[in-house]
Amino acid sequence: MIDVTLESVSKRFARAGDTAAVDDVDINIAAGEFFTLLGPSGCGKTTTLRMVAGFYFPTSGRIRFGTEDVTRKPPNKRDTGMVFQNYALFPHMSVAQNVAYGLKIRKVGRAESRRRVEEALAQVHLGGYGTRRIDELSGGQQQRVALARALVIRPRTLLLDEPLSNLDAKLREETRAEIRRIQREAGITSIYVTHDQAEAMAMSDRIAVMESGRVQQIGSPQEIYHQPANTFVARFIGRSNVLSLPVVSATATTVDVRLPGGGRITVAAPPEHGLTESATALVSVRPEHIGLCASTEEGALTGRVTELEFTGMATNLIVEIEGEPEGVMVAAVEVPAGLSVGDQIGLRLNADRMWVVRP
């Protein structure tokens, strides 16, 4: 097992003008870690992964596998296994021939090759499928063939670029658990790319949230969810509300803010938040950390329901409140019977779960 280091890595494409597709990225992925690059389309995830694979060279910066500098090494000298969204399998070849492809290129002997193909197919729970044709398999099975093909060369790192995007919702969930099992059993350092925050949270040891080529935050799913570094991360992960609230007083680790309607609450803040009395704090509060109450209740924030959507697990509401014209999103497990759009409602914020974010 090896760790993978990206050191001040940038990539500019000649025809894309001055803007960097990947801008000064620093990441250290631990040996055996399942690490995810997460962000909206166009934020630089694929470009970053392709630099690790060697399909692109960085404009500046260094990439290391363990202590070895691979920055300028061609892909076939890096021992990386790649899995893509569109599987990239050869449809006219059998499952076994597809999996054996990388071994053939590496001139592995026939008997050894057969043994390793069987082993890789067993690893992805496709033992006995070797003679099947690719077009006889479901999408999920095809993606597992692609995974076997990547693993059979015994790569030093496994790189996966949106591998589940072509699968329907139920199969995505099954296959993501399957990928995690295989990765854990193989103990292989892995970098996974997705734009889907739920997928990233469910699968990853750690996540780098990216936007416009830059890393916005690196942390465990829990850290990113509970302590988002800035407004972008807060809104991208779990669609948090970010309220602008006047600061009454502050300590090194907390900020007292005034709520619309006059109430005061104390919320946790990151180190060196720099907020002082009369500044405006940006405070993140998750939809599930806002409770509903009667609009007449003492200390409640009051507002008007503008949207109401039943999702099964909860009811999502948008409530327009003073100072937040776009409203706040609330995910309520229980709603008062007969509540409908246009009604006045009271909100209670769970101050213990709120967190000051940077702009």
Order across the sheet with 80-83: list the strands: 80-83, 157-161, 189-194, 34-38, 206-211, 214-219
Q: For ligand ADP, which stretch binds (CB under 6 A), given 26-34, 43-51, 173-181, 233-241?
A: 43-51
Instruction: Candidates 42, 74, 187, 274: give the one binding ligand ADP (CB under 6 A).
Output: 42
User: Which residue in 310, 308, 305, 330 sits closest to 320, CA to CA?
Assistant: 305
CB of 38 to ligand ADP, least distance (A): 9
Total interface residues for ligand ADP by CB under 6 A: 12
Query: Closer CB to Mg ion, residue 46 or residue 227?
Result: 46
Q: Which of residues 195-234 bind Mg ion (CB under 5 A)?
A: none
Query: Distance between CA 225 and CA 242 in Å, rounded?
Result: 13
Instruction: Candidates 46, 227, 240, 302: give the one binding Mg ion (CB under 5 A).
Output: 46
Instruction: Candidates 5, 10, 36, 47: give the one binding ligand ADP (CB under 6 A).
Output: 47
Instruction: Candidates 5, 10, 36, 46: give the one binding ligand ADP (CB under 6 A).
Output: 46
Whether 21 contacts 213, CB under 8 Å? yes
Chain position carrying tokens 């990441």: 27
Query: Distance between CA 347 and CA 328 in Å, rounded?
Result: 10
Query: Closer CB to Mg ion, residue 22 or residue 201?
Result: 22
* Cα–chain center distance at 288: 20
Query: CA 256 → CA 252, 264, 278, 286, 327, distances in Å?
Result: 11, 7, 11, 18, 22
User: Which residue in 358, 271, 293, 288 sits closest to 329, CA to CA?
Assistant: 288
Q: For Mg ion, which stretch binds (CB under 5 A), given 43-51, 86-94, 174-182, 253-261?
A: 43-51
- DSSP assignment string, 1-27: ---EEEEEEEE--GGGTT--SEEEEEE
* Cα–chain center distance at 79: 25
Q: Which of residues 1-30 bind Mg ion (CB under 5 A)?
A: none
Q: For ligand ADP, which stretch binds (CB under 6 A), given 14-22, 62-70, 177-185, 219-227?
A: 14-22
Query: Distance between CA 313 and CA 331 in Å, rounded?
Result: 9
Neighbour tally for 178: CB within 10 Å: 17
Please classify residue 66 by burial: count the beta carbons closer than 10 Å to its beta carbon, then call 0-12 exposed, 13-18 middle and 19+ buried: middle
Q: For ligand ADP, which stretch binds (CB under 6 A), given 36-44, 58-66, 112-120, 225-233?
A: 36-44
Query: DSSP strand E in 301-343: where?
Result: 301-310, 315-321, 324-332
Residue 41 binds ligand ADP, judged by CB under 6 A: yes
Query: Distance between CA 154 and CA 157 in Å, rounded?
Result: 9
Q: For ligand ADP, which stretch binds (CB under 6 A), given 15-23, 175-183, 269-277, 291-299?
A: 15-23
Query: Closer CB to ligand ADP, residue 210 or residue 308?
Result: 210
Q: For Mg ion, which stretch binds (CB under 5 A), given 44-52, 80-88, 135-143, 298-306?
A: 44-52
Query: Closer CB to ligand ADP, residue 15 or residue 170?
Result: 15
CB of 60 to Mg ion, least distance (A): 21
Query: Closer CB to ligand ADP, residue 42 or residue 74?
Result: 42
Residue 21's binding partner out of Mg ion, ligand ADP, none, with CB under 5 to 8 Å set by partner kind: ligand ADP
Instruction: Candidates 4, 27, 43, 269: give the one binding ligand ADP (CB under 6 A).
Output: 43
Residue 189 binds Mg ion, judged by CB under 5 A: no
Contact set with ligand ADP (CB under 6 A): 13, 15-16, 21, 39, 41-47
